[in-house]
Amino acid sequence: MFADYLRELQKVALLSPAEEADLWQAYRYRGEHAGRQRLIEAYQPLVFKIVMQLRPPEPLLMDLIQEGVVGLIEAVERFDPARGVRFSTFATYRIRGRALNALDRVRADVSLEQILGLTEESALARLADPAAASALTGVEDRALVEHVLRLIDRLPPRERAVLAAMVGAKEPRRIARELHISLSHFYRLQKQATDRLRAMLSLETMHQPQRASGY
């Protein structure tokens, strides 16, 4: 999906200042819908640039780009060229704001994301090199992944499905459709599930017997 998006992005023809001025005239003063669409198309690379500057997690990349496009559309619809402000400056705030708001909705604790992002293959890859200093860490990671997956099985069904999507890097919109819920509800369930999982992990840690130093 991302590769297809990049291919389409490369086809976008940028505007000269004169062309852009004509399009604003056509859209703002003559109400031509084609002018609006061409402006939105021409500024797609700006959306991509701003989203990539945020360094989003790969599973969230396309969702943040879509949010950025919504911000771009809002900017096109609200921009007044008569004010003398550059559209790219005006649009940047709305695109970035939209993307950041979306990122804030799904941002979980970094350590938890790292736990959920671990896979058996990554652990085995570390063990493949006998000289790797991280071999023992790989074994611990694998055990931790298995433990977290067991805890996920104890979550309510919808929260379990949402976290399974997060672990499997599935597209949130697709999972939301399968669960017959809105994307915003998906993100609320995701936060609720990660909070519950953190609490479960914390509770188990509190009840584990502490080893004496040196053992």
Q: How many domains is the chain partitioned into structurally?
A: 2
DSSP state at residue 108: -
pLDDT tens digit at each of 215 positions of the chain: 778 888 888 899 999 999 999 999 999 989 899 999 999 999 999 999 999 988 887 778 888 999 999 999 999 999 999 888 899 999 999 999 899 888 777 654 334 444 444 443 443 333 333 343 333 333 344 455 566 667 777 888 888 777 766 655 567 777 788 888 887 788 788 788 777 777 776 665 444 444 433 33
Query: CA-to-CA distance for 53 and 154, rounded, in angstroms?
Result: 37
Determine the Cα–Cα distance for residues 62 and 46; give it in Å rounded to an integer.
Answer: 14
Q: Are residues 122 and 167 in the same domain?
A: yes
The domain spanning residue 18 has which CATH number? 1.20.120.1810
Tell me how many degrees the CA angle 171-175-178 measures, rounded to the nearest 5.
145
Is the same domain home to 82 and 120?
no
DSSP codes of every residue in 142-169 = HHHHHHHHHHHTTS-HHHHHHHHHHHTT
- Is the Cβ–Cβ distance between 62 and 2 less than 8 Å? yes
79 and 32 within one domain: yes
Residue 154's domain spans which residues?
Answer: 110-207
Predicted confidence at residue 109, as pLDDT, reads 39
